[in-house]
Amino acid sequence: MTDELSSLLSPNYKLWLEHDGEYVFGPGAYAILVSIDEEGTITKGAEALGMSYRYAWGVIKKIEKKLGFPLLETFKGGTVGGGGAIVTEKGKQLMEMFVRVKTELDHVIQNK
């Protein structure tokens, strides 16, 4: 880019991961998994992001269906509640892959 254009324009991108040419995982899904991992439940993770349990769970189930493996391990609490969810090892690997690719692309853009 010429200096004139460089002062007017900057590169940007929207990252998502695909499987067989179809969208599977992007920043929204990543945020859901991070929030569930931090909060320990789907309900609290979704609430922290300002979304419903049903929406967050639907996003996760769509990804699991496309990839063929679970992203979360859920467990029920006793009679007084206390259930929860943890991100599976493959779920964590997916999160790490997303962050790694994003970090590499961010680095390329910063060094344009």
Task: For residue 108, give the H/E element and its range.
Answer: helix 89-110
Q: What is the mean pLDDT of the chain?
A: 92
CATH number of this structure's domain 21-104, picked from the four choices 3.40.50.300, 3.40.50.720, 1.10.10.10, 1.20.140.10:
1.10.10.10
The structural domains of the chain, with segments of one domain joined by +, span 21-104
Structure token pair of residue 86: 């943890």
**Percent helix, strand and coil across the chain, each rounded to 5?**
55, 15, 30
% the chain with pLDDT above 70: 94
Confidence of residue 112 (pLDDT cuts 50, 70, 90): low
Digit-coded pLDDT (tens) for 1-41: 467 887 888 888 999 999 999 999 999 999 999 999 999 99
Digit-coded pLDDT (tens) for 62-97: 999 999 999 999 988 766 667 899 999 999 999 999
64 Cα distance to chain centroid = 12
Which is nearest to 85 in space by CA: 48, 33, 49?
33
Structure token pair of residue 20: 């067989």
pTM, 2 dp: 0.88
